[in-house]
Amino acid sequence: MLATSEIELSQQALATNIKYLRSIVGPNVRISSVVKGNAYGHGIAQFVPMAERAGLDHFSVFSADEAFAVWQAVTGKSQIMIMGYIDNDDLEWAIDHEIEFFVFDMDRLIHSRDSAVRLKRKARIHLELETGLNRTGFDALQLEQVTAFLLENMDCFEIVGVCTHYAGAESVANYLRVKHQIKTFNKRVSWLKERGITPQVRHTACSAAAISYPHSRMDMVRIGILQYGFWPSKETFIDCMKYAANREDPLKRVIKWMSKVMDVKEVDTGEFIGYGTTFLVTEPMKIATVPVGYSQGYARSLSNQGRVLIHGDRFGVIGMVNMNLLIVDVTDHPEIQKGDEVVLIGDQGTLSISVASFSELSNQLNYEMLSRLPGYIPRTVVKQT
Ligand SMILES: *Cc1c(COP(=O)(O)O)cnc(C)c1O
C-alpha cells in the first residue's frame, strides 16, 4: 500500500552542507552529527549511513534508545555520544558498547563507576558543566566533589570530554549571556586541569554557536539543524552572509517531503473553505486537496500560513490544516491535476520550502516539524535531487 506522503534524502545536499560547515570550522575541529529526534525527522536508519559517507564519524543523540538505533545504523567505526537521558539500568549497555555519555549529576557518576567495575571496562564520559543555561550540568559548588570522586576512581573512567550548552546562541538578544557562558566554561576547565582532570575534548557549540561565536568551536562542534540544510535562525543566516562572496544560501535541504494532489475542484464566491470560517472565498477559486495533515506531522499552526510547491511554483495553504488533509489555493492554474507532486518541505525546481522561511513563523518551527515527522513515512536516499 502506498503511503500518503514520502521522504527523499539527498546525499549530494548533505555533502554540500558538510563541505560548507567544514569551511567554517576549519580542518581541526571535529564535527559531531546530532541525530536526536530521529535525525530531526530524516530517519536515523537512513541518515546515519549517509552522514558516514559524507565523512562524519561522530554521532550525538539525546537518549539511550536513540543511541541503540544509531548503533544499529552505523556501518563504520563511528563514535556515539548520549547527551541526555539514560536509565541507570542502561548504563551497562552503554559502557559495554563504548558509547560515550554526558555526566551531570553524582547519581549517574556513581552508577557509572559501579557498572564499570562490574564490566571491568572504563566508562567513557563527558563532564557537562552548568554555565548559565540552567538545565543540566555540574555547577561550581559540585566540582570539588566530582573531582575528588573521579581522582579516587580514575581506573573506572575515561574522561573523554568536557562540555556545556548555550542558552540561545541563535539570537543576538542572548549575546551577553552566551559570552558569559564561554568565559565561565573556560575558567572551570582550567580549574579542573589544575586539579588533574584533563578531558581530551572540549565541546560547547551547536549550529548557531559554531557560526556566530568562533571561540565556542574549541575541539568539537555538535551540529544538528545546519547539516540538514536549515538555519537555526535568520540572524545566524545573516551572520554567515557577512563572509559569503555571493549572497546565496550555501545550504541545501537534505530532505524532500512530498505528497500528491488528491483532488481538485472549483469553489464559488461567498463560500468558506474547509472547517469553520477561517477562509472566505472572495472570487471563484480552484483548490487542491493534499492527503497530509497534522496527524502526519504537518503543523496545525500552518493553517492559512503554510506554503507548498507544485510544478515548481509556490502555493498557499488555505483554511485549517485537518488531521489528514490540507487545502491549497491553485486558482488560475488549470494545469494542476490530481496526482501532481506536492512538496511540503524541501526543493522542487528552483524553489525551496523551509517551514519557517515565510510569514512571522519562527525557525523553531523547523526543528519542531522536522522532528515530528512520523517514523512510518517511507524514506529513500537519492544521490542528488
Ligand atoms: C540539539 C543539540 C545540539 C544541536 O543543536 P542545533 O541547533 O540543531 O545545531 C547541540 N548540543 C546539544 C546539547 C543539543 O541538545
Q: How far away, in angstroms, is 265 Cα from ligand 1 center?
A: 44
Residue 339: phi and psi, rounded to 5, are 95, -15
Query: What's the mean pLDDT in 267-294?
Result: 94
Greater confidence (361 vs 188) lies with 188
Going by C-alpha positions, the residue among 38, 30, 40 that lies closest to residue 73 is 38
Distance of alpha carbon 376 from the chain centroid: 19
Residue 347 carries which side chain, given as an amino acid letter?
A: D
Q: Which band of pLDDT confidence, cut at 50, 70 and 90, is reported for residue 356?
A: confident
Best mutation site among 20, 30, 31, 34 for ligand 1 pocket (most ligand atoms within 8 Å of CB): 34
Contacts of 41 (CB under 8 A, 6+ apart): 255, 297, 369, 370, 371, 372, 373
The pLDDT value given to residue 320: 95
224 lines ligand 1 (CB under 6 A): yes
Report pLDDT digits (tens) over 233-268.
Answer: 988 988 888 777 777 889 999 999 999 999 999 999
Q: Is the pLDDT of residue 281 over 60?
A: yes
Report pLDDT digits (tens) over 302-315.
Answer: 999 999 999 999 99
- Ligand 1 atom closest to Cα of residue 62: 15
206 lines ligand 1 (CB under 6 A): yes
Residue 119 carries which side chain, given as an amino acid letter?
A: L
Q: Mean pLDDT across the chain, nearest whole number? A: 95
Q: Which band of pLDDT confidence, cut at 50, 70 and 90, is reported for residue 359?
A: low
Give, for 346, the enclosing helix (H) or strand (E): strand 341-348
Go through the chain and tell me how many residues it has.
Answer: 385
Greater confidence (383 vs 160) lies with 160
The helix/strand count (H/E) of the chain reads as: 11, 18
229 lines ligand 1 (CB under 6 A): no
Q: How far away, in angstroms, is 257 Cα from ligand 1 center?
A: 23
**Both ends of the chain: CA-CA distance in Å?**
25
Q: At what angle do helices 11-25 and 44-53 cross, to 10 degrees?
A: 60
Q: Is the pLDDT of residue 385 over 80?
A: no
Report pLDDT digits (tens) over 175-195.
Answer: 999 999 999 999 999 999 999
CB atoms within 10 A of CB 299: 17
The pLDDT value given to residue 230: 94
Q: Which band of pLDDT confidence, cut at 50, 70 and 90, is reported for residue 128?
A: very high
The pLDDT value given to residue 157: 98
Q: Which band of pLDDT confidence, cut at 50, 70 and 90, is reported for residue 269?
A: very high
Report pLDDT digits (tens) over 196-226.
Answer: 999 999 999 999 999 999 999 999 999 999 9
Percent with pLDDT over 70 in the chain: 98
The pLDDT value given to residue 358: 57
Contacts of 30 (CB under 8 A, 6+ apart): 58, 201, 219, 220, 221
Residue 219 carries which side chain, given as an amino acid letter?
A: D
For 196, the grid coordinates are: 588533574
CA angle 110, 115, 117 (to 5 degrees): 95
The pLDDT value given to residue 357: 63
201 in Cβ contact with 220 (< 8 Å): yes
For 296, the grid coordinates are: 502526519
256 lines ligand 1 (CB under 6 A): no
163 lines ligand 1 (CB under 6 A): no
- Ligand 1 atom closest to Cα of residue 34: 4
Report pLDDT digits (tens) over 5-14.
Answer: 999 999 999 9
Look up residue 362 and give its DSSP letter: -
Q: Is the pLDDT of residue 229 over 80?
A: yes
Query: What's the mean pLDDT in 350-364?
Result: 77
Contacts of 24 (CB under 8 A, 6+ apart): 210, 211, 240
Distance between CA atoms of 351 and 313, rounded to whole angstroms?
A: 7
Distance between CA atoms of 218 and 30, rounded to whole angstroms?
A: 9
The pLDDT value given to residue 360: 58
Query: What's the mean pLDDT in 329-347?
Result: 97
Best mutation site among 33, 59, 171, 222 for ligand 1 pocket (most ligand atoms within 8 Å of CB): 222
Contacts of 362 (CB under 8 A, 6+ apart): 356
Q: Is the pLDDT of residue 284 over 60?
A: yes
The pLDDT value given to residue 243: 72
Question: How would DSSP label each residue in 242-309?
Answer: TT-SS-S-----SEEEEEE--EEEEE-TT-B-SSTTS-B--S-EEEEEES--GGGT--GGGTTT-EEE
- Ligand 1 atom closest to Cα of residue 232: 7
The pLDDT value given to residue 325: 97
The pLDDT value given to residue 365: 86
165 lines ligand 1 (CB under 6 A): yes
